[in-house]
């Protein structure tokens, strides 16, 4: 088993290397000169050239790339062109918004999708199943930002239960911060849930047709035990896989939803950095997000082993 995970670790490192190369290349060829953006359109050619030399932008591609990568490996994060602070600092502060929001969104999605998926599977082709599938279809077709705006209109403007946007900060008000994250987390989670509910349903439908489910009934176990113990534990592996993959989509969704709700999170950070051609921020935040997705999927493998004993053999 340890060899399996070692192999996975090496794949993970190679993968991150390619992500870094891709991000870097895209930003390299992208039009828009950071020096120009910083100095404005009236800057003289000379000051521009000086600033570009200072930022290392006059160097050839590979020199710039290796400088960046070796710097990162040595633990040296770039400085934000815009804010003048190390990017790690920016990541840390925005992660305190995006992290809890992502966790809340996943939690909400799981708590909603798994029971509903099981319900749909055990009521296959009956009205309950059809209703659940209808709402899941609706969720799949709904863009996050639209749901976000709808929630603002309902819960903030109409009923005034939640703030419409902004983030007070955890040190100012824990409850206020939590409240600020609930609507965006539910909006993000609801979309994830509509995928997850389908997956849970189909995984459960497969499992409930298995021989060991018939055995469980033949032993005289209660329906609840059969479905939730004998069935669910088997259906959990595919559900976990997709849950891991959904984190990537969640982070992509966060970019949009954080802009809808004016949250100073990772998504908004990278969104603004792109507009300002703050290259160190863009590439390091993107690399960080990619690493987060990959690492979470790596952890999901450990979760498999906990759920499915057969997994250890492979």
Partner 1 sequence: MNAPVLEIDDLTVDFHMPEGVGCAVDHLSLTVENGETIGLVGESGCGKSMTALSILGLIPQPFGKVRFGSIRYAGENLLTAHSERLRRIRGSEIAMIFQEPMTSLNPVLTIGRQVAEPLMEHKGLNKTDAYAEALAWLEHVKLPAAREQLSQYPHQLSGGMRQRVMIAMAMVCRPRLLIADEPTTALDVTIQSQILSLMMGLKEELGMGILLITHDLGVVAQMARRVVVMYAGQVMEEADVEILFEQPFHPYTQGLMQSIPRGLKDDRGRKIRLNEIPGNVLPITEKVGGCKFSTRCPSVFETCINHHPSLKTISGGHRVRCWLLDDPDRRR
From the list 19-27, 41-49, 60-68, 218-226, the region that binds partner 1 by CB under 8 A is: 218-226
Q: Which lies closer to partner 1 via its Cβ, residue 235 or residue 292?
A: 235
For position 224 contacting partner 1 by CB under 8 A, the verdict is no
Per CB under 8 A, the list member of 130, 233, 275, 299 interacting with partner 1 is 233
From the list 19-27, 101-109, 138-146, 303-311, the region that binds partner 1 by CB under 8 A is: 303-311
Q: Which residue has the tokens 């997994």?
A: 311
Segment 112 to 151, residues that bind partner 1, using CB under 8 A: 124-125
Dist. CA 243–CA 80, nearest whole Å: 33
Category of 237 on φ-ψ map: left (φ > 0), alpha (ψ -120 to 50) or beta: alpha
Q: Within a 10 A sphere around the Cβ of 241, how many other Cβ atoms?
A: 17
Site size with partner 1, rule: CB under 8 A: 24
Contact 213, 231 (CB under 8 A): yes
CB of 204 to partner 1, least distance (A): 14
Bridge partners, residue 79, by sequence: 86
By residue count, the chain amounts to 314
For position 17 contacting partner 1 by CB under 8 A, the verdict is no
CB of 130 to partner 1, least distance (A): 15
Dist. CA 279–CA 4, nearest whole Å: 36
Category of 303 on φ-ψ map: left (φ > 0), alpha (ψ -120 to 50) or beta: alpha
For position 309 contacting partner 1 by CB under 8 A, the verdict is yes
Residue ranges in contact with partner 1 by CB under 8 A: 124-125, 210-212, 214-222, 225, 229-230, 233-234, 307-310, 313
């Amino acid at each position: 088993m340890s060899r399996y995970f070692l192999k996975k670790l090496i794949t993970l490192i190679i993968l991150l290397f390619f992500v870094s190369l891709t991000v870097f290349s895209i930003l390299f060829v992208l039009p828009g000169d950071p020096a120009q953006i910083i100095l404005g359109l009236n800057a003289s050619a000379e000051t521009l050239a000086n600033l570009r030399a200072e930022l290392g932008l006059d160097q050839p591609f590979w020199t710039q790339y290796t400088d960046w990568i070796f710097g990162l490996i040595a633990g040296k994060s770039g400085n934000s062109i815009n804010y003048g602070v190390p990017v790690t600092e920016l990541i840390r502060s925005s992660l305190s918004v995006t992290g809890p929001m992502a966790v809340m969104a996943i939690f909400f999605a799981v708590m909603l999708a798994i029971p509903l998926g099981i319900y749909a599977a055990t009521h296959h082709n009956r009205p309950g199943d059809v209703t659940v599938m209808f709402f899941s279809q609706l969720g799949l077709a709904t863009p996050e930002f639209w749901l976000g705006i709808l929630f603002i209109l309902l819960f903030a403007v109409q009923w005034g239960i939640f703030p419409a946007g902004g983030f007070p900060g955890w040190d100012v008000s824990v409850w206020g911060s939590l409240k600020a994250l609930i609507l965006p987390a539910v909006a993000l989670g609801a979309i994830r849930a509509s995928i997850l509910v389908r997956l849970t349903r189909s995984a459960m439908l497969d499992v409930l047709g298995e021989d060991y489910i018939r055995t469980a009934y033949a032993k005289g176990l209660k329906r609840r035990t059969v479905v939730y113990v004998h069935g669910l534990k088997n259906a959990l592996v595919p559900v976990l896989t997709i849950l891991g993959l959904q984190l990537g989509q969640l982070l992509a969704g966060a970019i949009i939803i954080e802009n809808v709700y004016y949250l100073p999170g990772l998504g908004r950070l990278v969104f603004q950095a792109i507009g300002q051609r703050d290259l160190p921020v863009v590439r390091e935040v993107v690399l960080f997000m990619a690493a987060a997705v990959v690492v979470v999927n790596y952890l999901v493998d450990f979760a498999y082993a906990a759920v499915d004993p057969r997994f250890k053999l492979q």
